[in-house]
Every structure is written in structure tokens, then in C-alpha cells.
């Protein structure tokens, strides 16, 4: 089984990012990475220039949470992965997005076992859809002007400015959709067929969710409902510092206790070396543990 990991990285820590990439490459999977920092992007490009399994995003190099750039950039990564298939003959069975600070906390063997049990189905968590929650269409139809700021997620002033302007602009410019709008967690495990469906309909993402607030919560589910014929399951394979993902919220660093208390979770976020080093050290080798030795956890168990 081949996995295409769609990674997004905010920060400028070469050692952290390169170690994360190395972990994912070790057993033959591929990594497609968007890197926000231009200097770091250049350094990684040079360091991995001769590694065919590592792909640095070129058409869109950076992305931000809460902004169209994140779902659009992720779908562009899928498209690049599918184009690589044609060039190299490598076939990706599943596509998994790793948003900033997300790391595997189980072995590749355990992750592959879950993927095999999906048997060609997708896995993502649905929160609501506009058939049952009509307000989702209103949220999609409004325009958000400040999401492309680095400080948007944490700045109450920018969020307030956004709330003020979106209502004014809506009076002059409105968009409507006849499609069912689906809200999901912004994390997914997608089959090859679903990745193809999203990649082939990238224009829909750009046109329907331009200046939309937190489009990563609406875009993937809406597009999968509209374009993909694959069935899906809703296993909660992700753990955050808040436990389950919280809508339109800054993701808090996860703790080791939370990871250990969620044995069904395959991935955790946020896990950043500078934010929660003990957790980072403990889970770092999880992905390759069975390739080398026995059980998790890994280093320096505090």
C-alpha cells in the first residue's frame, strides 16, 4: 500500500520539518508539503532535491487556516500526486492530509490496517449539512476579508473587522448555491477515486469558497458529496488539544495523556517541538516503531 501524505507546515524549523518528512518517507510513502516560510521552503527543496518521494509544493507554496488557500492548496497537492502517478507509475491507495502540527501517533502498520479495513471507502467526520442546518448556506454565502492574515485566528480585532464587513458586502454581492453544503472536520483519509474527483473539480473549490470563512470545514465535505461516488466512514482518527476538533477555533497543543486516552486516534495535533517538546519526543518514532522495534512510546517518556 502506498500513502500520499499532504503536509502543511507553518514555521521555520528546518530540523523539525526534515525529521517529520524523514519519518514519513522511511517506509516508502510519499510526502507532498506546503511550506509557508520561503527560506525554509528553499532549504527543504535543496535538501530533498534528489529524493523522488518528497515533493515541495510549487504552484501554491503556502496556506493559512481559515482561508481558501488551505483547501485549495491541499487539492493542488492531490492533483500533483495524481500527475506523479502518470510519470512514475506509483499508485497511491490513500491520501491523508497532515495540517500544521499533525503527526502520526501510531505505527504505519496500525495505520495501514485501518486503511485496509476501509476497503476503498473514505474516512472523515461529518458535523452537519445544509439539508438539516440551513445556516450553513448562509455561512458559505458570506464574504470574509481578513482570513488571509497570519494573525486572523488569534486576533479578536481582525475577527471583529471581518464580522462587520461581511454583512455590509453581502448586501451588494451575494452568492448562492443549489448544492448541499456539508461541514466536516478539516482532516480526511481519501480513496484514490475521491482524490481524483476533487482534483478534477478544483475550479469549484475556488469559485464557491473564495473569501469564505474557514472553508476547510465546508469545502471537502461539500465537494465529496457532490462529486465523489465513494462511500465513507466516520471513525474519529484524530485527537487535538481540545479532544475532538472544535469549529472555527485555534487548535491547542495535545498532551500525552490525551493521546494515551484515545487509542483509536491515529494522528494528533498540535504536536510541535517548540510548543510541547516532551510530547513531540514521545510520539516522534511512533510511525516507524514496528519497522525497528516493539511498542510505543518512544523517547524520554515523562
Give pLDDT, residue 156: 62
Cβ partners under 8 Å of residue 220, min gap 6: 71, 124, 184, 186, 188, 198
> Average pLDDT in the 233-250 region?
95
Local structure of 32: helix, strand or coil: strand
Grid cell in block for residue 143:
464574504
Q: Which of 247, 252, 270 is nearest to 126 (CA)?
A: 247
> What percentage of the chain has pLDDT greater than the value 90?
72
Across 194-231, b (16+ Cβ under 10 Å) vs e yields bbbbbbebbebbeebbebbbbbbbbbbbbbbbbebebe
What is the per-residue pLDDT across 42-98, written as a single tens digit (0 to 9) for each? 999 999 999 999 999 988 889 988 889 999 999 999 999 999 998 889 999 999 999
Q: Is the pLDDT of residue 8 over 60?
A: yes
The tens digit of pLDDT for each residue in 250-272 reads: 899 999 999 999 999 999 999 99
pLDDT, position 144? 67
CATH of domain 3-127+178-284: 3.90.550.10
For 59-158, strand residue ranges (E) read 94-98, 103-104, 122-123, 126-129
- List where CATH 3.90.550.10 sits in the chain: 3-127+178-284
CA distances from 10 to 38, 152, 220, 286 (A): 11, 14, 21, 22
What's the pLDDT tens digit per position in 272-295? 999 999 999 999 999 999 885 544
Amino acid at each position: 500500500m502506498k500513502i500520499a501524505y499532504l503536509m502543511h507546515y507553518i514555521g521555520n524549523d528546518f530540523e523539525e520539518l526534515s525529521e517529520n518528512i524523514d519519518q514519513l518517507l522511511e517506509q516508502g510513502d510519499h510526502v507532498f508539503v506546503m511550506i509557508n516560510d520561503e527560506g525554509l521552503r528553499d532549504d527543504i527543496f535543496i535538501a530533498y532535491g534528489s529524493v523522488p518521494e518528497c515533493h515541495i509544493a510549487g504552484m501554491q507554496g503556502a496556506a493559512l487556516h481559515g482561508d481558501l488557500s488551505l483547501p485549495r492548496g491541499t487539492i493542488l497537492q492531490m492533483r500533483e500526486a495524481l500527475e506523479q502517478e502518470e510519470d512514475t507509475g506509483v499508485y497511491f491507495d490513500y491520501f491523508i492530509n497532515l495540517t500544521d502540527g499533525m503527526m502520526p501517533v501510531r505505527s504505519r502498520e496500525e495505520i495501514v490496517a485501518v486503511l485496509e479495513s476501509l476497503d476503498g471507502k473514505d474516512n472523515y467526520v461529518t458535523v452537519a449539512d445544509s439539508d438539516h442546518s440551513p445556516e450553513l448556506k448562509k455561512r458559505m454565502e458570506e464574504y470574509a476579508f481578513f482570513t488571509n492574515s497570519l494573525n486572523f485566528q488569534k486576533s479578536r480585532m481582525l475577527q471583529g473587522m471581518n464580522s462587520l464587513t461581511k454583512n455590509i458586502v453581502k448586501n451588494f454581492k451575494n452568492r448562492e448555491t443549489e448544492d448541499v453544503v456539508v461541514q466536516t472536520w478539516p482532516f480526511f483519509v481519501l480513496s484514490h477515486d475521491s482524490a481524483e474527483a476533487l482534483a478534477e473539480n478544483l475550479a469549484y473549490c475556488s469559485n464557491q469558497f473564495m473569501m469564505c470563512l474557514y472553508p476547510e470545514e465546508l469545502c471537502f465535505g461539500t465537494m465529496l458529496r457532490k462529486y465523489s461516488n465513494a462511500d465513507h466512514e466516520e471513525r474519529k482518527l484524530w485527537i487535538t488539544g481540545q479532544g475532538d476538533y472544535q469549529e472555527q477555533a485555534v487548535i491547542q497543543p495535545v498532551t500525552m495523556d490525551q493521546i494515551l486516552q484515545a487509542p483509536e486516534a491515529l494522528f494528533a495535533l498540535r504536536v510541535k517541538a517548540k510548543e510541547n517538546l516532551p510530547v513531540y519526543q514521545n510520539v516522534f518514532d511512533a510511525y516507524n516503531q514496528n519497522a525497528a522495534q516493539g511498542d510505543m512510546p518512544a523517547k524520554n517518556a515523562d
